Amino acid sequence: MASYLLRRLLIAIPSLLGISVILFTVLAMAPGDPFSEMATNPNVPPEVREALRASFGLNDPIMVRYLRWLTAMMQGDWGFSFASRINVDKLILQRVPTTLFVVGSSQILALLIALPVGIYAATRPYSVFDQIANTLAFVGFSLPTFFTGLLFILVFSVALDWFPFVYRSDIAATGWRWYWEMFRQAIMPIMVLGLFQAASYTRYVRSAVLDVIRLDYVTTARAKGLSERNVTLRHITRNALIPVVTLVALQMPAVFGGAIVTEQIFRIPGIGSLLIDAILANDTPVIMAVTFVFACLVVIFNLIADILYGWLDPRISFS
């Protein structure tokens, strides 16, 4: 197991390096520069723009810039943001908790919906419940989050005035009031993300359970006279969840990516909105760092999925 882990981690290094080379080159060759706002302002002398380009190293060849970035990165120096001139790691750390909270809660919500609905629907295939669940899942899966987000805002914020639609990272309240405010502002984005995710998980859980339900050992369990409830929970669900767990783990990086849109709509100060702002401002060090974090997430969650799989299904061995 230990040697397997080590091997996987060693393989991850060259792939991350490759990713970073591609990212850097694409970004360096992409048009635009961080000083566009100065361009139409006659009060900013052109020399200042030139001096800044030079001091930020934008005039050097791509190779030189990449090597400089890589050596700095190895030493834990992520560089500084061109837009705010503060260190990138500080910027990212400021944003990560919010993203984790929103994405994490929405995942929990998604599983809380998808598991019971999926299992119940699969044990009664083609029943009215199954058909309704299927239809809803299909609808939820097809509606993009930017649409549902806007719809939620128009219904719950503008028309009903129940929830605020601007998410704030610091709430000027303490104790229960803080939790209440936090809940109020987080509920819409979490619902939007959670429902979308729940829809796709439900379909998956249902089909995974359907696969297992027809297997011989389930029939055997029933023949032994076990209660239907017992059969479903002990024998069917446990085995059906193996691929589901893998799917959830593999979906995590994609969920972070999907949250970018939601973060923008609700003004959630997460790393997704940081990435969008950085792209709009051509803030290369920040774009580089955030996309690199996403790349690392993909690699890490892949690894977690593999390990979980082996742990859940003893037939797979790591040796």
Q: Which residues bind another protein (CB under 8 A)?
A: 31-33, 35-53, 55, 80-81, 83-86, 91, 94-95, 153, 157-158, 161, 164-166, 168-170, 172, 264-265, 267, 269, 273-274, 277, 280-282
Minimum CB separation of residue 71 from another protein in Å reads 20
Minimum CB separation of residue 206 from another protein in Å reads 36
Minimum CB separation of residue 274 from another protein in Å reads 6
> Measured from the CB atom, is 124 or 184 closer to another protein?
184
Q: Which residues contact 240 (CB under 8 A, 6 or more apart)?
A: 119, 205, 208, 209, 211, 212
Q: Are 250 and 305 in contact (CB under 8 A)?
A: yes
Minimum CB separation of residue 73 from another protein in Å reads 19
> Measured from the CB atom, is 46 or 175 closer to another protein?
46
**C-alpha distances out from residue 231 to 129, 224, 312, Å:** 20, 10, 19
Minimum CB separation of residue 84 from another protein in Å reads 4
> Measured from the CB atom, is 232 or 282 closer to another protein?
282
For tokens 């061995």, the residue is 317
> Measured from the CB atom, is 81 or 302 closer to another protein?
81
Ramachandran bin of 126, using left for φ above 0, alpha for ψ from -120 to 50, beta for the remaining angles? left
Q: Which of 57, 82, 81 is nearest to 68 (CA)?
A: 57
Minimum CB separation of residue 188 from another protein in Å reads 12
> Measured from the CB atom, is 152 or 301 closer to another protein?
152
List own/partner pairs for 294-300 with CB under 8 A and 24 or more apart.
Answer: 294/253, 294/256, 294/257, 295/16, 295/19, 295/20, 295/23, 296/16, 297/252, 297/253, 297/256, 298/253, 299/12, 299/15, 299/16
**Cα 228 to chain centroid, rounded:** 37
> Measured from the CB atom, is 34 or 194 closer to another protein?
34
> Measured from the CB atom, is 8 or 267 closer to another protein?
267
Q: Which of 261, 264, 290 is nearest to 275 (CA)?
A: 290
Minimum CB separation of residue 194 from another protein in Å reads 21
Q: What token pair was written down for 13?
A: 């290094």
